[in-house]
Amino acid sequence: MSHEAISVFDMFKIGIGPSSSHTLGPWRAAQRFTESLRQKNLLDQVIHAEVLLYGSLAKTGVGHGTDIAVQLGLSGEDPVTFDVNSINARIDDIRQMKKIVLGGRHEIDFDPSEDIEFLITESLPFHPNALTFLVSLHNGDTMAETYYSVGGGFVIKEGEQASAGSNVDLPFPINTAEDLLHWCRKTGMSIHEVVMENEQAWRSEAETRQMLLNTWRVMHECIYRGCTTEGYLPGGLQVKRRAYALNKKLLNGKSFETYRDWADAVKHGGNQFNYILDWVSCFALAVNEENASFGRVVTAPTNGAAGVIPAVLQYFILFCDGDSEDKIIQFLLTASEIGSIFKKGATISAAMGGCQAEIGVSSAMAAAALTESLGGSQRQAMMAAEIAMEHHLGMTCDPIGGLVQIPCIERNTMGAIKAITACQLALQSTPDFAKVSLDGVIKTMWDTALDMNSKYKETADGGLAVNVPLSLSEC
């Protein structure tokens, strides 16, 4: 049976908020298009470019910064390294000069107000998140390519295979939770050990470990920034950042200068239930407030759900004796495999499956990772993932104003707490008596996604997006 080979670093991508589907994906698509032009020796021949946004990208693209992302991608900038503090200046420059430097080397006339079209009444059949790049050349020819942002920063070009990674030969091919359990039983390895063996199809174990620790560095720096930055989120809703005030209240006057100082202060501040609960919420709020502010985040597995896994991992490190490189690596490996199984069996795109595909999947990933990291068996880890998703089934995606703010930021706190609860339930349970399997809940999630009305799939056409009377000054 064929399988899709997905690396841990496909699930955990370093990038810029606020949305993996609507920001990171279109950014990558624009990069791929300019690279396609370069490979065909056409980049320097372009005299005009136009971008067409369809479906969900059109309906919530402004709030998610899709127009910003495609401009930066066409300019040859990379979301992993681009200075987030330079975004506004770069976009203002393009708008005022009405010019863009394709691939960082060929300047053409480009007016974002005219050359980026939001086709809100049109949708392409393959996926709701579609965009087409059109260019005119000096010789009078034209060229067009269409891309689909299918969730979590994954991008598919029209006409290509779903995943180039499918050509990678893994020692332990996995499509389903049952496949994963099969390999665990056959080898006696834990989930994270199976995943690490598969990762060696791409790179050495030493490289994987280093890259995973860097992933965690970006995550905890995001938490720290969010906890130490006050103000309001961009976009016009005038949403006040809450992590800053909560962090200050919980620390109760304790001083710190670095992330490590801060983490020590948090760890030694108490162990009461409400204290820990407040911190988990604070961690998640911090990440997603940074995400909403076009900050540096890690898809986990998406930007909209980027706060769940960092919050649960930070909880594990500070309150569960998880502060070691080996345990952090174990946690991330296990989480990534659960996420990849959801992607293969259902979706991680809110435009396809609603918020169950983002917060639900991230909660399941975190639940399984925490369970195995705390000594749970492979079956208990999968049971925890199932429990977490079971209680997110049917969750809609209804961002007010098309912004990844309300209710998205708070939903990350709920996903994190549900992950911890699911872990505790699984650790105190015997999987032999479980009535619902992880594969069963993944199928149910996909069935639910197919049945869900499109207005509840990241279109801002239903739910809170239309029932909360808030005026927007910018959106």
Indicate the pLDDT class of residue 161, thresholds 50, 70 and 90.
low
Q: What are phi and psi of 6, to 5 degrees?
A: -120, 125
**What pLDDT score was predicted for residue 101?**
97
Contact by Cβ (8 Å): 6, 295? no
Chain segment 241-275, per-residue pLDDT in tens: 999 999 999 999 999 999 999 999 999 999 999 99
DSSP label at residue 3 = -
Which string of DSSP letters, residue by residue, matches 319-386?
A: HSS--SHHHHHHHHHHHHHHHHHHHHHS-S-HHHH-GGGTHHHHHHHHHHHHHHHTT--HHHHHHHHH
Strand-pair partners of 49: 135
| Predicted local distance difference test score (pLDDT) of residue 471 | 52
Number of neighbours of residue 394 by Cβ within 10 angstroms:
15
Q: How confident is the model at residue 1 (pLDDT cuts 50, 70, 90)?
A: very low
Domain extents for the chain? 18-164, 167-467
Residue 428 has pLDDT above 80, yes or no: yes
- The pLDDT, as a whole number, for residue 451 is 97
Share of the chain above pLDDT 90, in %: 89
Residue 474 has pLDDT above 70, yes or no: no
Average pLDDT for 332-357: 97
Indicate the length of the chain as a whole number.
475
Q: How confident is the model at residue 63 (pLDDT cuts 50, 70, 90)?
A: confident
pLDDT at 11 over 90: yes
Reply yes or no on whether the pLDDT at 302 is more than 90. yes
**C-alpha to C-alpha distances, 395 to 170, 272, 355, 358, 408, nearest whole angstrom:** 34, 31, 5, 9, 11
Determine if the pTM surpasses 0.85. yes
Task: Give the residue-averaged pLDDT of 416-445.
Answer: 96
Beta-bridge partners for 130: 54, 148
Percentage of the chain lying above the pLDDT 70 cut: 97
pLDDT bin (cut points 50, 70, 90) of residue 468 is confident
Which of 362, 342, 344, 299 has the alpha carbon at shortest distance from 12? 299
pLDDT at 473 over 50: no
Confidence bin at 475 (pLDDT 50/70/90): very low
pLDDT digit string, tens, across residues 388-421: 999 999 999 999 988 999 999 999 999 999 999 9
Confidence of residue 166 (pLDDT cuts 50, 70, 90): low
Residue 402 is predicted with a pLDDT of 86
Q: Are 394 and 463 in contact (CB under 8 A)?
A: no
Fold of 18-164: 60s Ribosomal Protein L30; Chain: A; (3.30.1330)
pLDDT at 350: 93
Crossing angle of helices 191-199 and 359-373, rounded to 10°: 110
CA distance linking residue 9 with residue 208, whole number of Å: 9
Instruction: Find the Cα–Cα–Cα–Cα dihedral 67, 89, 406, 306, rounded to 10°.
Output: 90
pLDDT value of position 162: 55
Q: Give the pairing type, strands 116-119 and 46-54.
A: parallel
